[in-house]
Amino acid sequence: MIIALTAFLLQTTLAIALEADHSSGFDPLAIEWMLPGHFEEARARSRQAERLLLIKGVSFGIDEAGAVCATQGEW
Amino acid sequence: MRAGGFAEPRVIRLINRRFVPFFFNTSGVGQGDDEGAAAFVDGKLENSFAYLSAFLPDAAGTNLGSSALYASKDELFQYLLGLLRAHPELAWVTTEEAAVFDAAEHGPCDVTSLLAAAMLHEELGQYTAAVDLAERAIRVEDITTDQWARGFRVLAAIARYQKQWSRVADLCAWARAIEAPDGHDLLADIELELAYRHLAANEYEQARERLESAIVKHPRAKRSGELRFYAGVASYFMGREDEAEFHWCWVNEHIPGDVMARRCFVAAARKGMPYSNPELGGFSASGMIGGNTRIMKEAYATARGNFLRLRDRTGGLLPVGRSCQSE
């Protein structure tokens, strides 16, 4: 267990050490949600584009950032 | 929000290609309300608080049903495909997509066209066609290593989706011979695909070893968030929750714009969540105390504390870093 934990720490430290010199890779892929307050626009787009409208109801609240950007904030 | 299915690349790509996605707050607390949306769904849903539901673009806004509340990423993808199959008139092919398919079918047998069509079919969940085109592409004589790598990605992802694990292993063995320009991304992809195979077999130790090794060797890989998320999952199922939290919080702290960031937040804050995480044992998960927004944030803060503690304890171990950096 101790050996395994040490190995884990060595590896994760290395990753951190490397980050100091190199930016980490990442994938910005995200759903192109239409935002709250723009429902009529979403519905119009669905009709115009002849695509299904998907609605996600969020029951645990949305903060200020999440209400204006689908990839930010809490929601 | 971006937990589980909503952070799954194939789900995201299919939604962006074929649906108009909209979200709003149903709780009455916080921001993100939408009166129009609330009126539109009123009386149409069994669960009117938390859901993903599809509606026809007709005058009535006919509801086609919701996904399962705790749908896994694969179930969510199948739900979306089912909607499109039931309504092909709303799954029409765009002019740009038709041009891609046409170039592969009727144009000269060039790798670029074949791969573009293969990738598009993959995004649309049309795997037979995608595999056929990708296999044709990688047999073309003048294929570049970069194109070869892209062909591998299509074939390996589909083999994974279809749980053809021996094929995944064969493809990975073949791909190791590719000296692609984006070599680090490709090598990380290979390790990730092989780790998926271990995860599917509940071989968590092997999965974690492979993923952490890839994290160390390929820190700039595009799929770093995915490597970390699943390294966390493997650690979690090994009972090493501090280390799992390290990986999940790492993604949130270092690459918050990554596709996996919210999924990692949800996993790290699992004990404060009001529902069990389908990726962490679902309803068999234990130790939950959730939850509301405050409890979720507190749970994440506790996990982040573990992340910082582990990070601080790893100071001064640079010789290993230097050794690997020179690889």
Chain segment B250-283, per-residue pLDDT in tens: 999 999 999 999 899 999 998 888 777 878 887 5
pLDDT range class, residue A14, cuts 50, 70, 90? very low
**Pairs of residues, one from chain A and one from chain B, whose beta carbons lie less than 8 Å apart:** 261
- Give the model's pLDDT for residue B295: 84
User: Which residues, 6 or more positions from B160, have their beta carbon under 8 angstroms from its beta carbon?
Assistant: B168, B193, B196, B197
- Give the model's pLDDT for residue A17: 42
User: Which 3 state secondary structure label does DSSP give B51?
Assistant: strand
pLDDT range class, residue B326, cuts 50, 70, 90? very low
Could you tell me what percentage of chain B is helix, strand and coil, using 3-state DSSP and rounding each to the nearest 5?
65, 5, 30
pLDDT range class, residue B222, cuts 50, 70, 90? very high
- Give the model's pLDDT for residue B284: 54
Computed over every residue of chain A, the mean pLDDT equals 76
- Give the model's pLDDT for residue A70: 77
Chain segment B188-220, per-residue pLDDT in tens: 999 999 999 999 999 999 999 999 999 999 989
The mean per-residue pLDDT over the stretch B320-326 comes to 28
- Give the model's pLDDT for residue B273: 81
- Give the model's pLDDT for residue B50: 87
A69 min Cα distance to partner chain B (Å) = 10
- Give the model's pLDDT for residue B70: 78
Given a cut of 80, whether residue A2 has pLDDT beyond it is: no
- What gap in Å lies between CA B21 and CA B49, rounded to an integer? 17
Percent of chain B with pLDDT over 90: 73
ipTM confidence: 0.88
Computed over every residue of chain B, the mean pLDDT equals 89
- What gap in Å lies between CA A74 and CA A25, rounded to an integer? 23
The mean per-residue pLDDT over the stretch B109-129 comes to 97
- Give the model's pLDDT for residue B289: 63
- Give the model's pLDDT for residue B315: 53
pLDDT range class, residue B128, cuts 50, 70, 90? very high
Residues of A in contact with B3 (CB under 8 A): none
Chain segment B33-77, per-residue pLDDT in tens: 999 999 999 999 998 888 999 999 999 999 999 998 778 889 999
- Give the model's pLDDT for residue B321: 28
A69 touching B (Cβ < 8 Å):
no
Task: Between B62 and A59, name the one with better pLDDT.
Answer: B62
Please write down the HEC assignment for all residues of B55-72: ECCCCCCCEEEECCCCCC
The mean per-residue pLDDT over the stretch B296-312 comes to 90
User: Which 3 state secondary structure label does DSSP give A28?
Assistant: coil
Contact call for B90 and A11, based on CB within 8 A = no
List, as ranges, residues 28-47 from A with C-beta within 8 Å of B.
Answer: 28-40, 42-43, 45-47
List, as ranges, residues 60-99 from B with C-beta within 8 Å of A.
Answer: 61, 64, 83-84, 87, 89-90, 92
Chain segment B136-155, per-residue pLDDT in tens: 999 998 899 999 999 999 99
- Give the model's pLDDT for residue B72: 84
Given a cut of 70, whether residue A3 has pLDDT beyond it is: no
- What gap in Å lies between CA B259 and CA A28, rounded to an integer? 5
- Give the model's pLDDT for residue B107: 83
Given a cut of 60, whether residue B100 has pLDDT beyond it is: yes
The mean per-residue pLDDT over the stretch A27-56 comes to 96
Chain A residue at shortest CA distance from B64: A52
Given a cut of 50, whether residue A19 has pLDDT beyond it is: no
User: Which residues, 6 or more positions from A26, have their beta carbon under 8 angstroms from its beta carbon?
Assistant: B222, B224, B225, B255, B257, B258, B259
Q: Which long-range contacts does B206-214 make (Cβ < 8 Å, 24+ apart)?
A: B207/B231, B207/B234, B208/B234, B208/B235, B208/B238, B212/A8, B212/A11, B212/A12, B213/A11, B214/B187, B214/B188
* Residue B163 backbone class (left: φ over 0; alpha: ψ -120 to 50; beta: rest): left
pTM of the model: 0.88
- Give exposure, A55-64, as e/b (b: 16+ Cβ within 10 Å): bbbbebbbbe
The mean per-residue pLDDT over the stretch A51-64 comes to 88
Residue B138 token pair? 């990688």
- What gap in Å lies between CA B101 and CA B103, rounded to an integer? 6
Percent of chain B with pLDDT over 70: 92
Chain segment B306-322, per-residue pLDDT in tens: 999 888 886 523 222 22
What order do you get walking across the sheet with B19-25 strand by strand? B19-25, A52-58, B51-55, B63-66
Closest Cβ opposite residue B87 in set A49, A52, A61: A52
> Measured at the alpha carbon of residue A17, what is the angle toward residues A11 and A21, in degrees to the nearest 5?
140
Given a cut of 80, whether residue B160 has pLDDT beyond it is: yes
| Identity of residue A61 | G
- Give the model's pLDDT for residue B297: 87
- What is the helix (H) or strand (E) element at residue B22, kind and residue range? strand B19-25
